[in-house]
A = this chain, B = another copy of it.
Amino acid sequence: MTSEEPKLQFWYDFASPYSFLAAMRIDDLATASGVEVQYRPLFLWGVFKARGWERPPATFAARVDYMWRDVARHAARAGHPFQRPSTFPRNSVLSDRLACVALREGWVAPLTRAVFEAAFVENADIADPKVLAHVVEGLGGDGHAAVAQAQAGPAKQHLQDLTDEALSLGVFGAPSFVAEGELFWGDDRLGEALDWSLEHRVGESREAAR
Question: A residues bordering B, Cβ < 8 Å?
Answer: 51-53, 57, 60, 62-63, 65-66, 69-70, 73, 170-173, 183-186, 188-189, 192
Contact = CB atoms under 8 A, between A and B. Distances in A.
Copies of this chain assembled into the complex: 2
A170 B60 contact: no
Contact of A172 (B63, B185, B188): B63
A189 B73 CA distance: 11
A53 B62 contact: no
Contact of A60 (B53, B62, B185, B188): B53
Given A73-B192, A188-B188, A60 B51 contact: yes
Q: Nearest 4 CB-CB pairs, A to B?
A: A62-B172, A57-B57, A188-B188, A63-B172
Contact of A183 (B51, B66, B184, B188): B66
A70 to B, nearest CB: 7
Contacts of A62: 51, 170-172
Contact of A170 (B57, B65, B172, B183): B65
A52 to B, nearest CB: 6
